[in-house]
Amino acid sequence: MKIMNGRAMRAGLVSGALAVAAIGGTVAAAPANATVTRSAVVQAAPQAQTVVPATAAQAISWYSSRNGSTAYEGYCEKAARLSWARVTHHPSAIDHWNSSDGAKHTTGTPPKGAFVFWNISSFGHVGIADGSGGFWATSVAGKIGHQGSVHYFSNYLGWKPGNSN
């Protein structure tokens, strides 16, 4: 195998893989008689997706930028997950509350960005705390909105720390 100007010339599958590994790329399958270039391999290989952890301010911004939207009605857990760019998925808000995903807190003012939970249906409900005793969530008057108290909905359960895990 010969690498010239960042290219693996007349690279077979094995030698092409070595050339790609040597330049830090992702190995893509190619015919044994193919000529593989660095740019072709990099473009053909699927790019790794890195999830950048969100902050509490970004989670709140996600909601506030969608204030008034009805797009997530019935999908409060999805909205909460997307606001934090979370990798972990829960089927419902009540499953999230009952999971081992974060410590439950039933007293005190939820910190900014914390997940806040209510038992308002068999699926529960979740939003994001504003840090001042209020929250952002779906289903606030039928849309994404803000309320100044976690007692806006009945049957407040408590909160769990917000995170991007």
In a domain, 125, yes or no: yes
Tell me the CB-side half-sphere exposure of residue 48, using CA atoms within 13 A: 6
Same domain, 77 and 148: yes
pLDDT digits (tens, 9 = 90+) for 50-70: 556 689 999 999 999 999 999
Query: Looking at residue 21, what is its pLDDT?
Result: 38
Residues 70 and 147 reside in one and the same domain: yes
Helices marked H in 38-138: 38-44, 56-64, 76-83, 93-98
Q: Is 68 in the same domain as 131?
A: yes
Q: Is residue 133 part of a domain?
A: yes
For 8, 37, 48, the CA distances from 25, given in Å and listed in that order, are 12, 11, 11
Are 66 and 36 in a shared domain?
no
Query: Do 60 and 40 share a structural domain?
Result: no
Residue with tokens 């997307």: 82
50 within a domain of the structure (yes/no): no
Identity of the residue numbered 8 = A
Enter the tokens of residue 149: 């108290």
Same domain, 11 and 77: no
Instruction: Decide if pLDDT at 143 tops 80.
Output: yes
Q: What is the pLDDT of residues 106-135, one digit of tens each?
A: 999 999 999 999 999 999 999 999 999 999
pTM of the prediction?
0.69
Contacts of 96 (CB under 8 A, 6+ apart): 77, 80, 90, 115, 117, 124, 126, 160
- Check pLDDT > 50 for residue 4: no
If one compares 151 and 17, the residue with the highest pLDDT of the two is: 151
- At 54 the pLDDT is 85
Confidence of residue 10 (pLDDT cuts 50, 70, 90): very low
Q: What is the pLDDT of residue 100?
A: 96
Establish if 20 belongs to a structural domain: yes
Q: What is the mean pLDDT of the chain?
A: 79
**82-99 per-position pLDDT tens digit:** 999 999 999 999 999 999
Long-range contact set of residues 72-79: C-beta below 8 Å, sequence gap at least 24: 72/138, 72/144, 73/138, 73/139, 73/142, 73/143, 74/138, 75/138, 76/125, 76/126, 76/127, 76/137, 76/138, 76/139, 77/123, 77/126, 79/137, 79/138, 79/144
Distance between start and end Cα atoms, the chain: 42
Asked if 35 and 63 sit in the same domain, the reply is no
- Specify the pLDDT at position 131: 98
Instruction: Print the domain residue range for 75.
Output: 56-160
Q: Residue 60 falls within a domain, yes or no?
A: yes
Query: Are 132 and 66 found together in one domain?
Result: yes
- In terms of domains, do 12 and 71 share one? no
Is residue 83 domain-shared with residue 15, that is, in the same domain?
no
- The residue whose two tokens read 């009945």 is 154
Number of domains composing the chain: 2
Asked whether residue 51 is assigned to any structural domain, the reply reads no
Identify whether residues 35 and 81 lie together within a single domain: no
Total residues found in the chain within this entry: 165
Residue 142: which CATH number?
A: 3.90.1720.10
Same domain, 22 and 73: no
